[in-house]
Amino acid sequence: MPVSQTKVTTRPRLGDLRDLISRRFDEGAVISVGPDDTLTTAFQRMRGAEVSQLPVLREGKLLGIVDESDLLMRVHDDPKVFATTVAHAMTRQVETVKPDASLATVQSILERGLVVLVADGERFYGMITRFDLLNHLRRSLA
């Protein structure tokens, strides 16, 4: 579909960080992997969605994150490692923020080179990237 004909859907505003998430879990838009998926699967999903990191989920629960660096560190010496599972490469200790966290908190996390993982207890909402924050700031000027 040409850009001029792209369908724009407006979601209800929630008044918190969930409004910044471009791919929300509750809308089925999160690109993710499971801990038992292979690194090949993770790589293909990253490449296909043009993202550099994926949340690792099991039944909607955030278990960790895997990014390009995790993949590169695992496979650079032996490409056969692509056949191993995400569980062997993922980062398990992740920092999450609740939906009511401030934009200053989001910016602080992004400045450290991390993606913002929005979750409340065991409920995962999605990720906020630098691009998501830029989009939010651009929209707030309009």
Domain annotation covers residue 135 = yes
Q: How far from the centroid of its chain's Cα atoms is residue 129's Cα?
A: 7
Q: Is the pTM of this model over 0.75?
A: yes
Cα–Cα dist 9/1, whole Å: 15
Quick one: pLDDT at residue 6?
44
Domain annotation covers residue 7 = no
For residue 67, the tally of other CB atoms under 10 A from its CB is 19
Cα–Cα dist 41/39, whole Å: 5
Domain annotation covers residue 10 = no
Split into its structural domains, the chain has a count of 1
Q: Domain range spanning residue 84?
A: 15-141
Domain annotation covers residue 9 = no
Quick one: pLDDT at residue 9?
56
Domain annotation covers residue 4 = no
pLDDT (tens digit, 0 to 9) for every residue of the chain, 142 residues total?
444 444 445 778 888 999 999 999 999 999 999 999 999 999 999 999 999 999 999 998 999 999 999 999 988 888 898 999 999 999 999 989 999 999 999 999 999 989 999 999 879 999 999 999 998 888 877 6
Matching residue, tokens 């700031």 = 137
Quick one: pLDDT at residue 5?
46
94: left (phi over 0), alpha (psi -120 to 50) or beta: beta
